[in-house]
Amino acid sequence: MTMVSPAMWSAEDYEVEQASRLPWGIGGVPMKFRLIPQEHRFYDLFQRQGQLVRETLSELSKSLYEGRSRHPRLRDLEHDCDDVTHEIYLLVNRTFVTPIDQGDILLLASALDEIVDLAEETSDKIELYRVGQITSSAKEIGECLAKAGDQIDQALRKLEGFRDLQEHQLAIHELENEGDRITREALSKLFGEDGLSAAELLKWKDIYDLLENTMDQCEQVANRLERISIQNA
């Protein structure tokens, strides 16, 4: 068996080794894990995700309104959100008792990360397709997304205590319905437009689908928050 020198240990290896020296508590869990509260860390990380969602959707909306690419910034935000999501996953694995059901924590973190991923992909496609003029419908959907991002951010700031979340959940559902209406009208207009090349039609169909998926994911977050608030009421 190969022995690893303590000098080569990672920080995580060191924590595990130190925990093995501590007195053991109920259920064979080292007391260290019970003495260090992790509740606030989860809420802090969710608030950080909320800020990243809000900023990402705001940047996407501005990009659509201005008709110019903000993809480098959106890509940076996507990487930041990936890092926070990964940190949440690690914290779940290291925490014996979580303030929210572990499954709900993982599902909420994943849903929030997916919003940022989809928004970044939308921006990437607009740049890749070299879209010149942004349609008024895309701008309207972008405004709905920016408002949804703000509602998500506000809701996550109130997650600890599970109070006053319903108003934000309802607002997100209303914005999703409005986004669906705009998307249906935009697609109807798109397929009925004379003289539009097949390439342009496919480009805009893809972009509208991505915008709709991003809005649907915002509603998915609202559903996750509703489940959490009901279970912890």
Whole-number Å distance between alpha carbons of 39 and 148? 26
pLDDT digits (tens, 9 = 90+) for 26-40: 444 444 444 445 568
Per-residue model confidence (pLDDT) at position 26: 40
Contact criterion met (CB below 8 Å) for 126 and 63: yes
More confident residue, 161 or 203: 203
Contact criterion met (CB below 8 Å) for 38 and 91: yes
pLDDT digits (tens, 9 = 90+) for 171-210: 999 999 999 999 999 999 998 887 788 898 999 999 999 9
Per-residue model confidence (pLDDT) at position 69: 85
Taking alpha carbons only, the member of 212, 228, 230 closest to residue 98 is 228
For the chain, the domains span: 38-231
| pTM check: above 0.75 | yes
Query: Which one is the CATH code of 38-231: 3.30.390.50, 1.20.58.220, 3.30.2010.10, 3.30.420.40?
Result: 1.20.58.220
Q: What is the mean pLDDT of the chain?
A: 86
